[in-house]
Structure 1
Amino acid sequence: MKKKLLLSLCATSALAISGCTTVADMAGADSATLNMSAAQGFNKTVQEARSKNTLDTSSATYKKIYSAFVKLKPYADQMNQTGQKFDWQLAVLKSDTINAYVAPGGKVVFYTGIVNKLNLSEAEVAAVMGHEMTHALEEHSKQKLGAQALTNLAVGIGKSYAGSQIGELGNAAIDLGSQVGVGLPYSRSLESRADQGGLMMMARAGYNPQASITLWEKMAKQGGAQGSAILSTHPSDAARINAMKKNLPAAMAVYNARGGK
Structure 2
Amino acid sequence: MRRIGKALVPGALALILAVACQTVQTTHGGAVGIERSQMMMVSSQEVEQASSKQYQEVLAEARKKNALNRDAAQVQRVRRIADRLIPQTTVFRPDAASWKWEVNVLSSDELNAWCMAGGKIAFYSGLIDKLKLSDDEIAAVMGHEIAHALREHARERISKSVATGLGISVAGALLGVGQGGQDLMGQVAKVTFELPNSRLHETEADRMGVELAARAGYDPRAAVTLWNKMASQSSGAPPQWLSTHPSHADRQKDLSDYAARVMPLYEQARASRS
- Using structure 1 for the length normalisation, give the TM-score: 0.74
The residue that corresponds to 1:194 in the other structure is 205
Query: How many Å apart are 1:84 and its aligned residue?
Result: 9.4
Q: Is the 8 A contact 1:183 1:233 kept in 2?
A: no
| Deviation of the 1:6 alpha carbon | 10
For residue 115 of structure 2, what is the aligned residue in structure 1?
102
In structure 1, C-alpha distance between the alignment counterparts of 2:188 and 2:236, rounded to whole Å: 21
Contact 2:114–2:192 (CA<8 Å) still a contact in 1?
no
Residue aligning to 1:139:
152
**Superposed displacement of residue 44, structure 1:** 1.3
* Cα displacement (A) at 1:108: 0.5
Q: Distance in 2 between matches of 1:226 and 1:252?
A: 28
2:77 pairs with 1:68: no
Identify the residue that residue 214 of structure 1 maps to in structure 2: 225
Q: Which of 39, 43, 46 is the aligned partner of 1:33?
A: 46
Compared CA separation, residues 150 and 58, structure 1 to 2 (3 A): farther
Distance 1:115 1:83 in 2: 26
Number of equivalent positions:
225
Residues 259 and 70 of structure 1: is their aligned pair in 2 closer, same or farther, counting only changes over 3 Å? Answer: closer
- AA partner of residue 74 (structure 1): P
Aligned-residue offset at 1:73: 1.0
Instruction: Give the Cα–Cα distance (whole angstroms) in 2 for the partners of residues 224 and 178 of structure 1.
Output: 28
Inter-CA distance 30–90: structure 2 relative to 1 (3 Å threshold): same
User: In the aligned structure 2, how far is the partner of 1:183 from the partner of 1:82?
Assistant: 28
Task: Indicate the residue corresponding to 1:117 in structure 2.
Answer: 130
Inter-partner Cα distance in structure 2 for 1:226 and 1:245: 19
**Correspondence 1:50 to 2:88:** no
What's 1:257 paired with? 268
Instruction: Indicate the SS of the match to 2:53.
Output: helix
2:145 corresponds to 1:127: no
Corresponding residue SS for 1:55 = coil
Specify the alignment match of 1:21 in structure 2: 39
1:200-250 deviation line (CA, Å, top 9, x unaligned):
100010101111111111112123699945434646611111111111222
CA RMSD, 1 decimal: 3.2
Letter in 1 for 2:270: G
Following the alignment from structure 2 to structure 1, what is the Cα–Cα distance between the partners of residues 96 and 266? 28
Structure number, greater radius of gyration: 2
Question: Which of the pair has the greater relative contact order for Cα pairs under 8 Å at 6+ separation?
Answer: 1
Tell which deviates more after alignment, 186-195 or 57-66: 57-66
- Say whether the 8 Å CA contact 1:123–1:211 is kept in structure 2: yes
The one-letter code sitting in structure 1 at the alignment partner of 2:39 is T
